[in-house]
Structure formats: structure tokens, C-alpha cells
Amino acid sequence: MGNPNLLKYRKEYNAGFLDEKNLPETPDVLFEQWLNHAINSGAEEPLAMNLATSTTGGKPSSRIVLLREFNKKGLVFYTNYKSRKGKEIFKNHYAAVNFFWPLLERQIRIEGEIIKTKKQDSDRYFKSRPAESQISAIISEQSKQIPSRHFLEKQFQDIKTSLFEKDIMRPENWGGYILIPSLYEFWQGRPHRLNDRIVYTLDNENWEKCRLAP
């Protein structure tokens, strides 16, 4: 039973360190620094984040989505509002995301409340996508059971033919969300598993910073 190689696998982390005395007062500044570093370092899928949602009863689910905008208010991503995550967000507005960049031996956890972006923002982003991606958003009843791959591909071709050289309108069930952070945790791998963990917590519109045990 089991794979003995898993027990033997070991990696020491030596890429960097975190000293809270030299960190910015607000986490959005550090997040932007780390994100830009991940992008410029050649990390694979630097914008990929694990989005965790849950039902009102506390049953969790998670999946990878792509960060599409970051501003003073929060983190923006786009999806189908009628998907499983969309339904869970509708009933429970609180969620968490996690970025993991193995190349840099870093991860960031962010917790907060999720709301929909403005319709004009969703329209703008939808129009910026390739036509094929726009069509995929139209035909995909995300998270619903479908009969086959052929069924999906036929729908795609049929819509593509019917919309040839036409403006494609964003479907109402597809658009953006913004996660408004109330907590950031910055994790930097260190030797011997004595990893650095710095947490910023929002308290009455002020960010408080502390170190956690690894």
C-alpha cells in the first residue's frame, strides 16, 4: 500500500526570507511586488490562484482561476455566475484564494468578501477576450453535466458559424467578481521548515501586521 517514494521526497527552501521590520505598512504593496516578481521571474502561470468557496453549511470546494486585475479595492476574476462557485458565492460571500509560486518558494493566502464587478467592467473584459473564448463562455453551462465532448464541440462550431463576423455580446450569466481582502498571509519557504509567515489583518480600516509560527 502507498508509494514509499513520497516519504523520501524532500526539498529545502533557500530562495529568500521575510523580515517584518522591512515590509510595507499595507499588504497590497507587498502583494504587487511579489506578483510582479513572479511574472518577471518566468514562474509558470503566475496569475493562477486557487479559489476556495463553501456552501452555507460549510462544505468547501476549490478550483484554479486566473487573476485578471488587481487594484486598491481587491482582486478581480471572471467566471460563469451559474457555476458551482457562482452559486456558492451567491449564498456565502466569503472566500479565500491562494497563490503558489514554487520557483520562488512563496505563497500568498488572501481571505475576504466577494462581490460582483460592475456590468461595464465585465463587458469591457469580455470584449478583450479572443472570439473563441467568448463563444466558449456562451455555450458552457459551467458545472452542469453534458452528454459528451462531441456535444460540446458541435455547440461551439454551430455558434461560431452563426456569429461569424458579428459582435459577440456578453451573456448575462458570465462576468466578474472582486475579492475584497480582510487578511493577507505571505509565506516564504526557509531551511528546516522554519518558514516565514507574515499576516496582515484589517481592523477598522487599518492593517495590523504580525508573524506566525511556521
Residues noted as catalytic: 193
Q: How far apart are CA 96 and CA 1, in angstroms?
A: 34
Alpha-helix residue ranges (DSSP H) falling in 55-115:
84-91
Query: Where does residue 71 fall: left (phi above 0), alpha (psi -120 to 50 degrees), or beta otherwise?
Result: beta
Q: How far apart are CA 104 and CA 43, in angstroms?
A: 8
Q: How far is CA 6 from the centre of its chain?
A: 28
Cα distances from 187 to residues 19, 49, 102, 120, 191, in angstroms, run 11, 15, 11, 35, 13
E-only strand ranges, 134-173: none
Residue 184: C-alpha distances to residues 80, 107, 126, 202 (Å) = 26, 11, 29, 9
